Structure formats: structure tokens, C-alpha cells
Amino acid sequence: MASSSGTSSGSEDLQALMDQRKRKRMISNRESARRSRMRKQKHLDDLVSQVTKLRKENQEMLTSVNITTQQYLSVEAENSVLRAQIGELSNRLESLNEIVGVMNSSNGVFVEPNNSFFFFNPLSNMSYMNQPIMASSDILQY
């Protein structure tokens, strides 16, 4: 019976060794799973942080685009007013030049287009430059 007790003791030792290895492996697996969950959580936190940052940048860009669009529309409107003023002033200058031409032809005096007369050479008298130019519907009334 001594041999059976020796075999039983060896079997118990082997079983205890296997149980110990099993517990070590289980502890190691749990620790590995915990580290994996931590890495996954850190990655998720990094992604959430990146999404927040990108949303903020996107909002800033949208705000910048909206401001730029408003400025563009404002400049475009001002440009339209200035083009209308150019047309009105050109028509007015043409009419005034025609009036001067008629007046000069009725007096028998011929005026060259390149003389220093105010209507033909508006840059010779700069006093009008201090006055603002406003577009209005009654600008063509004389």
C-alpha cells in the first residue's frame, strides 16, 4: 500500500501543480483582458476627444465661411451701386457734353473735345471730389 499512497501523493502533487498553473493562467488572462479593456477605453477616449476637436474646428470654419460670404455679398452690393453710379454719371456727362456742344454750335464757337473745359476734362477741377456720390432715382433730373 505504500506504493499506492506514493502514487496518490504524486498524483495530488501533479494535480496541485496543474491547479496552480491554471490559476496563474487565469490571473494572467484576467490581467491581459484588463489591459486590453484599458487600451480600448483609452482609444475610445482619444477618438471622442478628436471628434470634439474636429467639430470645434468645423464650427470655426463654418463661422469664417459665413463671415466671408457676408463680406462678399456686401462688397458685391457696393459694387453694383458703384456700377449704377458709373452708368448714371456717364449718361449725365454725355448729356452735359451734348448741351455744351449745342450751346457752342448756336454761338458759332467750336469747342475741341480735348480743351480744359470742366465737362470735357473733369479732372481739371477737383472740388467735386470732396462731395460724396450717392445713387438715387432723381439723379437724372436736370
Structural domain contains residue 136 = no
Structural domain contains residue 112 = yes
Contacts of 57 (CB under 8 A, 6+ apart): none
Structural domain contains residue 89 = yes
Name the grid cell of 15: 494535480
Would you say 113 and 120 are in contact if contact means Cβ atoms under 8 Å apart? yes
Structural domain contains residue 142 = no
Q: What's the pLDDT score for residue 66?
A: 97
**Neighbour count for residue 8 (Cβ, 10 Å):** 11
Model confidence at 105, in pLDDT bands (50, 70, 90)?
A: confident
Would you say 46 and 40 are in contact if contact means Cβ atoms under 8 Å apart? no
**Boundaries of domain holding 70:** 2-130
Structural domain contains residue 21 = yes
Number of domains into which the chain is organized? 1
Tens digit of each residue's pLDDT (9 = 90 or more) over 22-63: 999 999 999 999 999 999 999 999 999 999 999 999 999 999
Would you say 120 and 111 are in contact if contact means Cβ atoms under 8 Å apart? yes
Instruction: Say yes or no to pLDDT of 125 above 70.
Output: no
Structural domain contains residue 138 = no
Model confidence at 6, in pLDDT bands (50, 70, 90)?
A: low
Structural domain contains residue 78 = yes
Structural domain contains residue 105 = yes
Tens digit of each residue's pLDDT (9 = 90 or more) over 53-97: 999 999 999 999 999 999 999 999 999 999 999 999 999 999 999
